[in-house]
Amino acid sequence: MILLRRLLGDVLRRQRQRQGRTLREVSSSARVSLGYLSEVERGQKEASSELLSAICDALDVRMSQVMREVSDELSLAELAESATASEKVPAPMRPMLNSVSVTSVTGVPDERVTIKPPKEAVDVVAA
C-alpha cells in the first residue's frame, strides 16, 4: 500500500537537504516543533494544509512544486505496484491488465485512448 504521507515526507526532506538546512532551522522558521517536523518527514504524521504551507514557506518552495513531486512519485509507485500485481495474475488474465481502453464520456468526442504500462518495471526507492 502506498502512503501519501511517506511520499510527502520524503519530498520535504529532500527539499530541506538540498538547501543544506537542518531540521532545527526549518522547524524554527516554520514555527513547528522539531519532533513533529521529523515525524512528518518520516511519514509518521499527516501534515495539515496549514502545516504544509508553513513548512513550504520555511523552505521557500511553492506548495504546488512539492505536490507535483509527490504526484510524480505516486505515479511511479503505482506503476511499480501494478507491475508487481500483474506478475501475480495468471497468464490468461494478463492481457487485460497490460492495456486499458478509455471510451468516450458524455460531452467528449468519440476517441479511443490506450494507456500501456512501461515495458520494464520501475523501482521506487525512498531517499
Residue of higher predicted confidence among 69 and 100? 69
DSSP H helices, 1-127, are: 4-18, 23-30, 34-41, 49-59, 63-88, 94-98
Q: Does 126 or 20 have the greater pLDDT score?
A: 20
Q: Which of the listed CATH numbers 3.40.50.2300, 3.40.1010.10, 2.60.40.1530, 1.10.260.40 matches domain 4-84? A: 1.10.260.40
Residue 121 has pLDDT above 90, yes or no: no
pTM: 0.66
Predicted confidence at residue 123, as pLDDT, reads 54
Whole-number average pLDDT of the chain = 81
Take residue 18 and report the three cell numbers written for it. Answer: 538540498
The count of other CB atoms within 10 Å of the CB of residue 81 is 14
Q: What is the pLDDT of residue 83?
A: 82
Pick the more confident residue, 83 or 50.
50
Check residues 125 and 17 and name the one with the higher pLDDT: 17
Rounded percentage of the chain residues whose pLDDT exceeds 70: 67
User: What gap in Å lies between CA 65 and CA 115, rounded to an integer?
Assistant: 26
Given a cut of 60, whether residue 17 has pLDDT beyond it is: yes
> Is the pLDDT confidence value at 67 over 70?
yes
